[in-house]
Structure formats: C-alpha cells, structure tokens
Chains A and B, each alone.
Chain A
Amino acid sequence: MVQVLFAVIMFCVVLEPFPALGETEADLRVEVVSTFNGPRRSAATKGAPYSEGTIDESSQFRVAQGGAAERDTEEDVLRDPFAERDKPAAEETPDTIADPLEPINRAFFVFNDKLYFWVLKPVAKGYGAVVPEQARVAVKNFFYNLAFPVRFVNCFLQGKVNGAFMEMGRFFTNTFIGAAGFIDVATLTGNFGKYDEDLGQSFGSHGVGPGFYINWPILGPSSLRDTVGAVGDAFLDPISILIDPSGYTIAANALDLVNNTSLRLGDYEDLKRAALDPYISVRDAYYQNRKSKIRE
C-alpha cells in the first residue's frame, strides 16, 4: 500500500518538477505569482484549451491586462476582467465540468438528499442539542488537526514549501499548546497561515483536469481526479476507513461527519432554496470551489 502512495508521489514529481521550490516568501500571493513566472508561462499564453490550475486562471492582473485586447468587442458587455482568461463569460457553452454519468449521479443526488433530511440532519440536530457549539467546534478542530500529514505532504507536492512549514507549525502549536488539537491556537494567534491542500489539488496544480463529475453516495460531490486523490490521501489519514476498516475508525468518521453536519445545518437548505436545479447548482459549486482552491 505504501508502494502505491510512493508511485503516486513519484508520478507527480515526474510530471513536473516543483515550480517554486526554494521559495520562502511569507506571502502566499507572492509565492503563487512567482510560480507564474516559471516554466509554465509560455504554455499559458498560448491559451491552453482546458487548463485548470494553470496561471491564466489565477493571475487576475494578468488576465485583465492581457485579455482585454484579445476579446472580441461584440461581447464586450459581458467582459469580466476577473474571470478566467480562457473561459470568458461570453463563451457559447458555459465553463462547467463534464458529466457523462449524469443519470447515475442524479440518482445518488436524490439518495444523498434523502439521507441528509431523513437521517443525518435529525441525528446532527439531536447531537447539537446535547453538545454545546464550542465543544463541537473543538471536535472539528481536533479532526482537522489530525489530518495534518495529508496537508503537509500535499504542500510539498505543490511546491509550497513555505506552506508545509506553516502547516507543521500549526500542527505542533495546536497539538501541544492547543490540547491535542481541540483548540485552534494557531489561528487565534494568527502566526500560521492555513494551507488546506489535498492530492486532488496537487494533481490540479500540475495541470491535471478534473476528468468528470462523480456524485458518490454518502460521500457526495467529487470528480475522477479528486476521487483518485482522496484514495491517495487516505494513506496519510490516521483515521481512514479505507486503510483500516475497524470499528474505531468507522466510529471516528461517523462522529466527524455528524459533528461537521451539526455545524453546517441550513447551508444545504439555503442552496436548495436558491437553486432552480439543485443538482446542477451543487455540481457547479463543487467545480468552481475546487478550481479556486487549486488556483490558490
């Protein structure tokens, strides 16, 4: 199993050397911009047809300056200097994720919807009534802190050396000063930035597109790339069901799920209320959110 992880890591390394290795600027923004000036710049100026996570999506300044002249004037009304360059607002088909499995995905969407309203929500509500909010935030912090190895390794895979050290600082601060991670001291003191990186994002930052959309039962929205990423990350996750399907990990994951849900009650309801087609809205929100995370 370790070999698989190693293979995945090697795959990333071979795919592209770390673009910003040795970059220790404190500011993430600076780090990202410096990446843009790196080897990928030429590829992006050509306007790669589908390049999630490459520079032209990310650099708003450059998009605004470079994009204006190339854009046709007829659609000037839809001009958005802050949108990605290779997917202008006026394009014939909107920028979205491929969804060849839509019928199955929709079926699981209905399933997950029912699961939320009939099972998860009532349980989370009951749990929330017993456990005070502060304690639930602490539990959330604990689980987040525990998954530190995933973020640490993926910072390196994306060449965010600075981010890796920030995450390490966070982990030690919260583990030793923050009562085993229950208190997020690192955020309270503001000394360390947060780098919520995963393998799906690492793939994305190396130019791997999402493939297509997969809406898993129970687990919810994902893509081909991010599913592969999640499997890879499982090797670094101390409480992964995939690696260790024992009673303890199942219980821990169930607690994590119920706890998180109890802190986010109402979000899904709001989304459903605002959407004309909740399935599409969730799918697009997932796609856009992942894209912005890869851009960071």
Chain B
Amino acid sequence: MKPIGLYRKFLFFSLIFAIATPVCAGVPTEKIKDTTEKILSIVTDPDLKGPDRDKERKALIREVVDERFDWEELSRRALARHWRKLNEEQKKEFIILFGKLLERTYLDRVEGYSGEQVTYVNEVIEGEYALVEIKVLTTKGTEIPVNYKLRKKGEDWRVYDIAIEGVSLVNNYRVQFNDIITKSSYEELVKKLQEKVAEK
C-alpha cells in the first residue's frame, strides 16, 4: 500500500505545483497574462465576429492595449537622442502618432489570431524593470519567443518594449527613425508617420 500512497502524494503535490506555478510567477507576468486573456476573449468572442462589429471589436482591444502599454515610454525610447530636442507640443504629437502606428501593428497581429497557444516561460525582475518571456505556439507548429519588457509605474506595470524572435520593436523603430531624421529631418519623420497612420 505504501508505494501507492507515495505515488498519490506525488501526484497531489505535482498537481498543486502545476497549478501554483503561474500564480507564483509574479505581478508582471500576471499583468501580461491578464492583458493577453482579455484580448483573446475579445478576438474569440462569437458575438464580436464579422465585419459589422469590426469597429467595436477594435475599440475594445485598443482599450485593453492602452491600459498595458506605455506609449510615452515607447516613444521616448524609440526616438532616443532626438527626443530631447523636441518641445512639449511635439512630444505630445509624436506620442499620439507613434501610439496609433503601434496600436495598428498590434491589432493586425491579434486580429489574425487562429488558436495559437501561449506559454509563460520566464520572468526576471530587476528593481522597477521586468522581463516576461512567453512562447507562442502557432497552429503550424512553430514556436515564437516573445519578450515583454515592463516598467513599474505606481502599482502598475506598463510595457515599454516587445521583442519577437529577438527583434525588439523599439530598436527596430529607433534605427528607422534615426535614419530618416539624419538623412532628412524630424519634420519629414512626422510627415511619414502621418501618412503611415492614415493608410488603411
């Protein structure tokens, strides 16, 4: 009887462990999880399917995304050294424009959701900064590592960068922005951003 008892105990504890692991994962992971689940519930909601509910669905996702992403931090990091040269007015304008572009990019990605599975791999907290590593398993069987970088803001954690397959979004835009600004001007960058956001 004893081995069976031991086996049961093992099973019991492994079960507890399996359930407890994500809970122990920490606040940043919880936040990312919460946002991901909210978005998934919107994209998989049968009531919100179809082109006639398009606007409503997008607005709902946008609300959830706005809550989690720190557009100002993202803008500042993407412009890097060029950020300091802007006045308050320009900064505000830029945050809105860049936020719109990122939102659209993000919306494009989640709108194409087709049953991908998300697993939470790792979490690193470094003072007020956190890194949440997840893996997305596509329906075609490829694993895509996605890293969220977050910063603590009050009691909340907000995303300041996402890296997909090692490619950081902020870095990618930083190189583009820097190239455009150094080759032409900041005004040209704003013009390009406006055109891009206006694209359907």
Contacts and interface: CB of A to CB of B under 8 A. Distances in A.
A78 B171 CA distance: 12
A281 B165 contact: no
B171 A60 contact: no
A295 B166 CA distance: 10
Given A80-B149, A89-B80, A281-B172, A273 B108 contact: yes
Given A80-B77, A94-B171, A288-B171, A280 B166 contact: no
A94 B178 contact: yes
B47 interface: no
B77 to A, nearest CB: 6
B186 interface: no
A82 B108 CA distance: 26
Contacts of A256: none
A76 B35 CA distance: 28
A96 B165 CA distance: 17
Interface in B145-200: 147, 149, 160-161, 163, 165-168, 170-180, 189, 192-193, 196, 199
A293 interface: yes
B105 A94 contact: no
Interface string A258-296: 000001001000100111110011011100110111010
**Dominant SS among interface residues on chain A:** helix
Contacts of A79: 129
A133 interface: yes
A67 to B, nearest CB: 10
Contact of B80 (A94, A137, A263, A293): A94
B2 interface: no
A274 B172 CA distance: 11
Contact of A60 (B80, B124, B170): B124
B89 interface: no
Contacts of B140: 133, 137, 263
**Dominant SS among interface residues on chain B:** helix
A182 to B, nearest CB: 12
Contacts of A133: 140
B141 A61 contact: no
A292 B144 CA distance: 13
A184 interface: yes
A110 B167 CA distance: 23
B95 interface: no
Interface in B117-152: 124, 126-127, 129, 131, 140-141, 147, 149
Nearest to A278: B176
B171 A277 contact: no
A183 to B, nearest CB: 10
B101 interface: yes
B126 to A, nearest CB: 4
Contact of A280 (B104, B170, B176): B176
Given A94-B80, A133-B140, A274-B108, A81 B126 contact: yes
B126 A64 contact: yes
A262 B49 CA distance: 26
Given A78-B77, A276-B177, A288-B171, 7 more contacts: A64-B126, A80-B77, A94-B80, A270-B109, A273-B108, A284-B171, A288-B166
Interface of A: 60-61, 64-65, 77-83, 89-96, 133, 137, 184, 187, 263, 266, 270, 273-277, 280-281, 283-285, 288-289, 291-293, 295
